[in-house]
Amino acid sequence: MTTDTAVRPAPAPGSPGAGARARSRFPVSGGTALGLGSAVLYMSLIVLIPLAVVVWRSADQGLGYFWRAVTTPDAWAALTFTVGASVIVALINLVMGTIIAWVLVRDRFPGKGIVDTLIDLPFALPTIVAGLVLLALYGPESPLGVNLAYSRIGVVLALLFVTLPFVVRTVQPVLLELDRDMEQAAASLGASAFQTFRRIILPNLVPAMLSGTALAFTRSIAEFGSTVLISGNLPFKTQVAAVNIFSQIEGDNQTGAAAISTVLLIVALVALISLDLLQRWGSRRG
């Protein structure tokens, strides 16, 4: 008695058997469907619907009014200053955040644990308190004799304070997981420390560095609390976009505030999408 062990051909793509095979390959349990539905509902209520309402409200009186609200002298000055300062802050974080992460992972020094804990302080500290601390330290009555209040440098300093953890906390885990054997092998083959960093370490750090930089940039363009005190809210000089939005709301111009908010949202989305495309391009190139 023989048994037929021939391999049956796979069902055609459009046949009922192919659909059953696809469903069995990617099963969706009731728990998964419930979790997915809960996640989508939560994201919709907390993020998607409020953002959609802001965008819709910004065009409530037509695109012409939207453009006029964005290009008023004070709004445009606040937007350009905010984006420019955020770019500077992101670039400084790119360099200094990577250096700090390197020191925390590769070096040993007294108080290392305390420094590592303090990195997360801007996350835990209310931003308005951060602004008050910076104003007390670098204001007119500064104990250091340095007065940066009501200046653009002071605004950049406040943004650097609140965005400090982003690059550090994205680069640090990558450095911790980096295989040190590759560095030792490169050194044994005669590679200098700079060559080892440029060809082995840096390519592994770049995705994390870019991610942290993008997060620092998007946080900077939306920052309010830490800048409202030290900036002095001077139109055409130190007023940031978030403070300008608050001023628009105080002036009962909610449509104009929504228009400026929409511009900030678009800038943030462009930054995040560009980062994602850049990372995909880098992964395809190996």
The confidence score (pLDDT) of residue 165 equals 93
Q: How far apart are CA 97 and CA 99, in angstroms?
A: 5
Task: Note down pLDDT in tens along the chain; length 286 residues.
Answer: 444 444 455 555 555 554 444 444 545 556 677 888 888 888 888 878 887 888 887 877 788 888 888 999 999 999 999 999 999 999 999 999 999 999 999 888 898 889 999 999 888 888 888 888 888 888 888 888 888 989 999 999 999 999 999 999 999 999 988 877 777 787 777 778 778 788 888 888 888 899 999 999 999 998 988 888 888 888 899 999 999 999 888 888 888 889 999 999 999 999 888 888 877 776 676 5
The confidence score (pLDDT) of residue 229 equals 86
Position of tokens 């955040």?
97
* CATH code of domain 63-284: 1.10.3720.10
Reduced 3-state DSSP string for 56-125: HHHCCCCHHHHHHHHCCHHHHHHHHHHHHHHHHHHHHHHHHHHHHHHHHHHCCCCCHHHHHHHCCHHHHC
| Integer angstrom CA distances of residue 184 from 36, 210, 269 | 45, 26, 41
Cβ-proximal residues to 225 (8 Å cutoff; 6+ apart), any chain: 126, 127, 128, 130, 131
Q: Is 8 helix (H, G, I), strand (E, B) or coil?
A: coil
Domain ranges across the chain: 30-59, 63-284
Q: How far apart are CA 49 and CA 56, in angstroms?
A: 10
